[in-house]
Amino acid sequence: MIGMKCFRYIGYVFMLLVLPAITVVGQINPKDACRIEDGRLVFRLDLLWSSSQKREFVQLFDLDSTVMAGVYAGKTEIVSKGIVWKTKKLTIRIVELSKSLSSTPENSPLPGDVVMVDDEQAGYMIEAQRESSPYGVNKFTRYSVFQYIDGCARFYLPGHTDVNQVYISGTFNRWSTIQMPMQRSDSGWTIRLKLKPGKYLYKYILDGNWTSDPFNRLWGRDGYIEDNSVVYCYNYFFTLKGKTDAKAVYVTGSFNQWNRKELKMFKTRYGWALPLYLREGTHAYKFIVDGEYIPDPGNKVVRQDGSGNYNSIIGIGEPIFFTLKGYKNASKVIVSGNFNAWNQLELSMNRTPEGWRLPYVLAPGNYEYKFIVDGKWMTDPGNPFKTGHGEIENSILVVQPNYTFKLDQSTDAKSVIVSGSFNGWNKSGYKMAIVNHQWTFPVRLKPGKYTYKFVVDNKWILDPGNDLWEENEYGTGNSVLWIEP
């Protein structure tokens, strides 16, 4: 599994991969001076660039002046803000500058003009957008208007130099109109924000007038407004080495419903690549090379798809662990759930001295699952939280719960269920368990309003520990729960 941390410091400049390979003869255009190759961010600089070309290059790619000075001073290694840059002279006038995409130290300082987004706000907005967008690819008409490098997003609005003040507003600051002023430059307006990977909606405010990004072809809706610009801060690179003679290569997977003609990869010097945002969780995928499906030859993690074929697998985020104690004489144990469409062949568990275990990456949420022990389905004996009944009873796994239902009374009851608008008022509901002398059930709920009741030995009751309730169509009332952002 490949965790999110492995890609935390991937530097991405939009459309780097579509740029043609740069020859070492002739003058290099500063706009065409960057690429990604073999896990490194690579720049080619021309020692004969004019001062204006150097400034353009620094502004386009947000490079530190210390690094530039080191290049033109002929240094072979430059250390700036904890990042090690290597230089290599290709010809008398062409120098190659590069750094590892994973070399940025975790606590490296951010530039002084970076706006720090409130962690609580950012966490909520990223979570909300991840849940609605399993993946995303940007569609800018000019690659310089947005860059995402080392967790820092740079927005650039060219022109409008006659405007007195420009603000950026979006889901990252709850659409504040005054919180994030942009900085004026000779060619337009810029701002840098510290953002986590994910999907964001935004607009510019020019002297009080709202406008979407004219260089962004992605649109999204937030409430009643439909013409917001959409941007993705990337966290993953698909790469395929070789196949340079292919006419077209696509990546397709569970994250885009196996759409075979959507995510076209860009040709690089040594193969094909595509940067994008992927939501937390486990994703199956394949490459399509001139119409032929192939697993990723660079990824050793593959699993059956239930039809006799194998898919490559990646995990974005921290894994949870399914565990089953005992059953040491079993030949094979499989975990299956609604997170993998109840596939009975895909997730074979690993034998341990205590029983069976399997790491798996899941996004925050509520999931149903079972174990299959030598062909026999069973709920998890180590997990007291369940839903359903009889043969359709399943164990419930809650990843990163944000609320726990509790009932202090009725500890002598045979069964207590919580049911409400969050699970369709299913009478089978979520079966609560006694923990520390009270009935409990943890859940993961999106922000918003929910109504619910407890079912104690088949009798529906309001939550005695919650004074907030509202009337229903039956005149029996429902308890009300608000999950705050």
- For residue 332, give the nearest of 288, 284, 300, 374 by alpha carbon: 374
| Residue type at position 431 | K
409-453 pLDDT, tens digit each: 877 899 999 999 999 998 888 999 999 889 999 999 988 899 999
Would you say residue 145 has pLDDT above 90?
yes
DSSP state for residue 187 in the 8-state scheme: S
Would you say residue 204 has pLDDT above 50?
yes
Query: What domains, with CATH codes, occur in the chain?
Result: 4-100 (no CATH), 114-233 (2.60.40.10), 236-316 (2.60.40.10), 319-399 (2.60.40.10), 403-483 (2.60.40.10)
- Six-digit token pair at 222? 């937030």
- Six-digit token pair at 98? 């590069």
What is the mean predicted confidence (pLDDT) over 467-479?
94
Q: What is the pTM of this model?
A: 0.72
Q: What span, in angstroms and rounded, lies between the C-alpha atoms of 83 and 131?
A: 34
Would you say residue 332 has pLDDT above 80?
yes
- For residue 33, give the nearest of 20, 41, 43, 24 by alpha carbon: 43
| Residue type at position 362 | L
Q: What span, in angstroms and rounded, lies between the C-alpha atoms of 196 and 338?
A: 28
Q: Quick one: angle between helices 65-72 and 51-61, nearest 10?
A: 140
- Six-digit token pair at 261? 């003609």
61-82 pLDDT, tens digit each: 767 778 888 888 888 998 876 7
Model confidence band, residue 102 (pLDDT cutoffs 50, 70, 90)? low
At residue 453, φ and ψ (nearest 5 deg) are -150, 165
Would you say residue 212 has pLDDT above 80?
yes
Whole-number pLDDT of residue 118: 58
Of the CA atoms within 13 Å of residue 178, those in its CB half-sphere come to 0
Lowest mean pLDDT segment, chosen from 122-126, 208-212, 328-332, 335-339: 122-126
* 3-state secondary structure at position 358: strand
Whole-number pLDDT of residue 388: 87
